[in-house]
Structure 1
Amino acid sequence: MKKQVLIAGGGIGGLAAGIGATCAGCDVRLFERAREFREVGAGIQLGPNVVRGLQAWGLQGSLQSVAAVPEALQARSALGGHALARLPLGSAAVQRYGAAYLTIHRADLHQLLLEALRRHADVHLNLGQAMESLRESDGVVTLRGADGKLVEGDALVCADGVHSRLRTQLLGDGPPRPTGHLAYRAMVRQADLPQQLRTSEVTAWLGPRLHVVQYPVRRGELQNLVVIVQGPAPADMERWDHAANAADLESALAGTCSALQDLVHGVTDVGAEWRLWPLADRPPLRSAGEMARGLVALLGDAAHPMRPYLAQGAGMAIEDAAELQRALSMHDLEMELRLRRYALNRWQRNARVQARSRRNGRIFHATGPVRWGRDTALKLLGARIMDLPWLYQGDGSRASSL
């Protein structure tokens, strides 16, 4: 008899988990709090490590139809505007790693995963059903909804995001912590911008206590911009997502180069909206027990929320789902051991990415002598610093035994 896997969360991680579980031969019941599947307008960078996983699910054609293929990754000074380093991408990334480096609209990635999941017969998608608590007993895990409804399954995957209530119940470690960084995000049609403000590359502008990232999405038709500055977060972190005050953003960028200020002004001039998010994370994982206990597994941001300075948040969720598929396919093992195998094979790599993301943030926002040293190292070593074989070549953290 097929095992029934319950999935809490209908974001990118939840949908990817659903694909992995169905490909492993399980029945899937997915529960999403919202009344419709939708994602906000933001961009995602997909390294070759992630693209290979999506290709393995037969999604190469879908990716090609909606993603952009940046020509390069470059670092520039937010103060002087000059180039610091450049790493060729495009065909060069394919030659190095067997897959492209892509940039994609979050809504486009969400939609192609949803379409892929809906093609499987053994999937039941449930909208408008918030799952509030879990209980495990006698080889069965039970979810309780906000309406009191009980749902039983052979395993549960919690993919309900950085503010996962189910994680809090499972691990008892409280809410995520504010990072002290705020992210201003905007999406704008490239055709609406002056030619000099359009881009076909991923550019990171590095400045004291701030940085800006811009890159194309949706076949290059749109440009995604993210400005991250250091500042206090509001008390209601989970729901604090609203239109940002462009004047506050412009004030935060005072003193940066004219090219960067022109870019930010250009977004406002064409009527695009800035939105504001406070960033939250958790310390890097310390053991496999923080990713799976009993019949319950954590995946994506519910397991390992991370700062965005390595551009791997969505990527690690997709890698998690691919490993979940491999573990669930071990039909000779009891379910608890399958999930234990999943956690053993993922926690160290996720912890490394979490730690490197935090380190990158300190480097991106460096001041004084550290900033000068960073800029000098980038100028001297360039692509050797920006390239990340340990990350892009794939998951090298596999555990050898239970």
Structure 2
Amino acid sequence: MKKQVLIAGGGIGGLAAGIGAARAGWDVRLFERAGHFSEVGAGVQLGPNVVRRLQAWGLQKELQSVVAVPEALQVRSAVSGQALACMPLGNTAVERYGAAYATVHRADLHSLLQTGLSAYADVHLNLAQTIEHYREAEGVVTVRTQANKLIEGDALVCADGVHSRLRQQMLGDGPARPTGHLAYRAMVRQAELPLRLRATDVTAWLGPRLHVIQYPVRRGELQNLVVIVEGPAPQDMERWDHAANAQGLEAALAGTCSALQDLVRSVPKTGWRLWPLADRPPLRSPAEMAQGLVALLGDASHPMLPYLAQGAGMAIEDAAELQRALSMHDLDVTLRLRRYALNRWQRNARVQARAQRNGRIFHATGPVRWGRDSALKLLGARIMDLPWLYRGDGSSASSL
């Protein structure tokens, strides 16, 4: 008889976990708190390490239909506008890492994974249902939903995000920590922008205590803009007037170059949305990813700052490793989940630490900023490329 995995969370991590488990031959019961699947409008960068895993799941055609494939990653000074460095992507990434570096609308990636999951027969999606609690006994994990319904499974995967309640039951380590960084996000139609403001590449603008990322998504039809600044979050984000974001953003960018300010002003004033960023310290052991019949995945396990563009990528990598572990049918389930955690925790910890380090570099001031800019001008792609990250631990698949 097939084993059954219960998955908490219907975001990118939860859907990817469902695909991995279904491909491993397990029944999947996924629980999502919302009444329907949806994702907010933001962009996601997919390194070759992530694209290869989506290809291995048979999602190549669907991926090709929605992504943009930038030709380069550029770094510019947010203060002067000067180009500091450029790393080729496009065919160079394909030749070097076996897959493209792609950019995608988060809603398109979510839809792609949902479509991929729906291809498997033994998948049951439970919307408007939240897993509130779990307990283990005699080789079975039993969850209690918000509606006080009890459901049994052979394993539980918690992919319920950075504010995971189930993580608290497992680890009891308190809430994710506020970072003092705020992300302003916007999505604009490229056809509505002047040619000089349209994005075909990934461009990072680095400034004192802030940086800006712009890149195309949805086949290049849209441009994703992210401005990250240092500062306190509003006290009550639920009642925060998002229409006031543009005013605060313009004040934060007062010392930047005119080209960058023109780019930000091209977005309608009501088009900016604000998120305070939270993370956790890098993982310290496999026990922080799996215990007994319960595993954590994605942001529930290792939330990270977006300064390596790998948050969604690490969740998808987690799901691919979960697939390999759940396929080890000669092992007890606890040993399979232990194997999953052993094979993932150190890589996730390295990415978490590097993202934190990048934040300090991106936002550097004074002599450190001058040294950073000089190093980028001198070494360029040699310090921007990340073979340890993009090669990952999986085999190459056909390229985009």
TM-score interval, normalised by the smaller of the two chains: over 0.9
Q: Deviations over 1:41-79 (max 9, x none)?
A: 000000000000000000111010000000100100000
Structure 1 residue 241 displacement after superposition = 9.2
Percent pairwise identity: 81
Structure 1 residue 199 displacement after superposition = 1.0
Question: Which amino acid is 2:39 matched to?
Answer: E
Residue 67 of structure 1 aligns with which residue? 67
CA distance in 2, matches of 1:240, 1:108: 27
Structure 1 residue 147 displacement after superposition = 1.2
CA distance in 2, matches of 1:239, 1:352: 36
From 369, 373, 376, the equivalent of 1:375 is 373
Contact 2:243 2:270 in 1 (8 A): no
Q: Given the alignment of the two structures, is residue 136 of structure 1 paired with residue 143 of structure 2, yes or no?
A: no
CA distance in 2, matches of 1:80, 1:227: 17
Change (3 A) 1:272 1:233: closer
CA distance in 1, matches of 2:42, 2:21: 27
Question: Which amino acid is 1:178 matched to?
Answer: P
Residue 335 of structure 1 aligns with which residue? 333
Residue 34 of structure 2 aligns with which residue? 34
Residue 325 of structure 1 aligns with which residue? 323
CA distance in 2, matches of 1:164, 1:179: 18
What aligned pairs does 1:183-262 form with structure 2 within 5 A after superposition? 183-235=183-235, 242-262=242-262
Change (3 A) 1:359 1:240: farther
- The runs of 5 or more residues in structure 1 that have no matched partner are 397-402
- 3-state secondary structure, aligned to 2:307: helix
Change (3 A) 1:331 1:243: farther
Q: TM-score, with normalisation over the residues of structure 2?
A: 0.97
Residue 171 of structure 1 aligns with which residue? 171
Residue 399 of structure 1 aligns with which residue? none
Q: Which runs of 4+ in 1 moved over 4 A?
A: 235-244
CA distance in 2, matches of 1:194, 1:285: 44
CA distance in 1, matches of 2:316, 2:195: 35
Residue 158 of structure 1 aligns with which residue? 158
Structure 1 residue 245 displacement after superposition = 2.1
Structure 1 residue 146 displacement after superposition = 1.1
Structure 1 residue 244 displacement after superposition = 4.7
Contact 1:188 1:272 in 2 (8 A): no
- 3-state secondary structure, aligned to 1:87: strand
CA distance in 2, matches of 1:174, 1:234: 21
Change (3 A) 1:343 1:66: same
**Aligned positions, number:** 394
Change (3 A) 1:166 1:238: farther
From 344, 347, 357, the equivalent of 1:346 is 344
- 3-state secondary structure, aligned to 1:162: coil
Residue 89 of structure 1 aligns with which residue? 89
Structure 1 residue 238 displacement after superposition = 8.4
Change (3 A) 1:303 1:209: same
CA distance in 2, matches of 1:239, 1:67: 34
CA distance in 2, matches of 1:242, 1:319: 33
CA distance in 1, matches of 2:38, 2:208: 35
Change (3 A) 1:119 1:242: farther
Question: Which amino acid is 2:78 matched to?
Answer: A
- 3-state secondary structure, aligned to 2:31: strand
Change (3 A) 1:393 1:381: same
Contact 2:78 2:211 in 1 (8 A): yes
CA distance in 2, matches of 1:243, 1:32: 29
Change (3 A) 1:50 1:177: same
Contact 1:178 1:233 in 2 (8 A): no
- The runs of 5 or more residues in structure 2 that have no matched partner are 395-400
Question: Which amino acid is 2:302 matched to?
Answer: H
CA distance in 2, matches of 1:244, 1:139: 52
Change (3 A) 1:241 1:127: farther
CA distance in 2, matches of 1:168, 1:53: 29
Structure 1 residue 130 displacement after superposition = 1.2
CA distance in 2, matches of 1:143, 1:254: 51
CA distance in 2, matches of 1:239, 1:299: 30
- 3-state secondary structure, aligned to 1:229: strand
Question: Which amino acid is 1:247 matched to?
Answer: Q
Residue 400 of structure 1 aligns with which residue? none
CA distance in 2, matches of 1:147, 1:29: 16
Q: Given the alignment of the two structures, is residue 276 of structure 1 paired with residue 282 of structure 2, yes or no?
A: no
What aligned pairs does 1:46-61 form with structure 2 within 5 A after superposition? 46-61=46-61
Contact 1:241 1:277 in 2 (8 A): no
Residue 109 of structure 1 aligns with which residue? 109
- 3-state secondary structure, aligned to 2:266: helix
Contact 1:186 1:272 in 2 (8 A): no
Q: Deviations over 1:357-389 (max 9, x none)?
A: 000000000000000000000000000011000
RMSD: 1.3
